[in-house]
Amino acid sequence: MRMSVIGCGYLGAVHAAAMASIGHDVVGIDVDERKVAALDAGSAPFFEPQLTELLTKGRESGRLRFSDRMADAAGAKVHFLAVGTPQIPGGHAADLRYVDAAVEGLLPHLRPGDVVAGKSTVPVGTAARLATRIVDSGATLVWNPEFLREGWAVHDTLTPDRLVVGAEPDAAGARAVEVLREVYAAAVETGTPFLVTDLATAELVKGAANAFLATKISFINAMAEIAEASGADVALLADALGHDSRIGRRYLGAGIGFGGGCLPKDIRAFAARAEELGRGEAVGFLHEVDAINVRRRERAVRLVVDALGGLVFGRRIAVLGAAFKPFSDDIRDSPALDVAVRLRGLGADVVVTDPAAMENAAAAHPQLGYARDRDDALREADAVVVVTEWDEYRRDLSPAHAGGLVRGRVIIDGRNCLDAAAWRAAGWQYHGMGRR
């Protein structure tokens, strides 16, 4: 099927490449000429496993191209909206200017029978408003939220755990749903649930999912605060809770909290929209979820300060990680960089390393020191802080090897991803988040 993907950032670029890989004829459209040129040359403008390979194969097959001209969307049967929805400046609500601009630019190129499928994360009610703007073109709007995890985005696009399509309950909506079912036929045929809802429910699914995940993460971090005060071990607590089938162990890893370009802004926008609807009290707990998340970053800094006897000024601190999560170069609202910046603000000589996010981190925070090589960052360090759980740190770095490089055997495990017993046995002063 011929389709366009409007917006070629993280979501759009992955979606375009994945759709081409399963046989669709795809044009990705973005206003950023440099990004378009890179993608059209088969080069991903950000780090995401498998994406470069998909881009290369798509270009070689002739099924994938990129353009900075909206007119190139003409003739496509399905148009996916994949533009960003950041927070509005100075507020918590979602900024819909890019979504609105994408629709306005697309309108002249729509034909009767076309399907416009929204994938951007938007406040509930947005789809109904946009539908009134495209109805005169004869096209039909559906909402098809994305559920991608950075680092797993290609996998999640090709083998999703569910597909949600929201549509109006009329003949045009039903036809549009069947078009989307055809788009995702490969996944549907292998058993992926295909859920059809109204527009509002489809919009709420994404926001509700992120709100739940954020709440689960902040819950275990709140328990880490109690564990620290009482002498309990939050890792053992999480294991015990995880055996309850109603709760499960996933996302019960205490640490310095969540970040990135989705969860923080999405829960704030979700709460802001609830307030606009007069139901702010229903999600008032999300404000505390957000507050707990931010507190954990300060707690990691306090662990470093206490471990160094209350004084970090002039001390060399190796910060292992800059991206907000492994398998990504995304530093948006990164807890890892927040910890590094706070330590630098206390006068520490901070040296950051990361397998993928060095360039982004250095551009955003030039005041920090950087080392491309992990061992260079560790050399002569008075303390080590693990803030992104890359395999290079949690699995491949041995306590003995690290001990031969540092000046002081002090390690703060901001992700509770290390073997505490092994590090202590090697003579390290180990400190975890909410651990004994």
- List residues with catalytic annotation: 262
Coil vs helix vs strand at 46: coil
DSSP tally for the chain: helices H, then strands E: 18, 14
- 73, 79 contact by CB (below 8 A): yes
Query: How far is C-alpha 278 from the geometric centre of its chain's CA atoms?
Result: 29
> What span, in angstroms and rounded, lies between the C-alpha atoms of 104 and 92?
25
Where do the H-state alpha helices sit in 22-125? Answer: 33-40, 51-61, 97-106
Nearest to 401 by CA among 423, 370, 369: 423
**DSSP for 327-375?**
S----TT-HHHHHHHHHHHTT-EEEEE-SS-HHHHHHH-TTSEE-SSHH
Bridge partners for 410 per DSSP:
429
CB atoms within 10 A of CB 282: 12
CB of 385 within 8 A of CB of 319?
yes
Asked if residue 315 lies in contact with residue 349, where contact means CB atoms within 8 angstroms, the answer is: yes
Instruction: Give SS3 for 418.
Output: coil
Q: Are 321 and 329 in contact (CB under 8 A)?
A: no
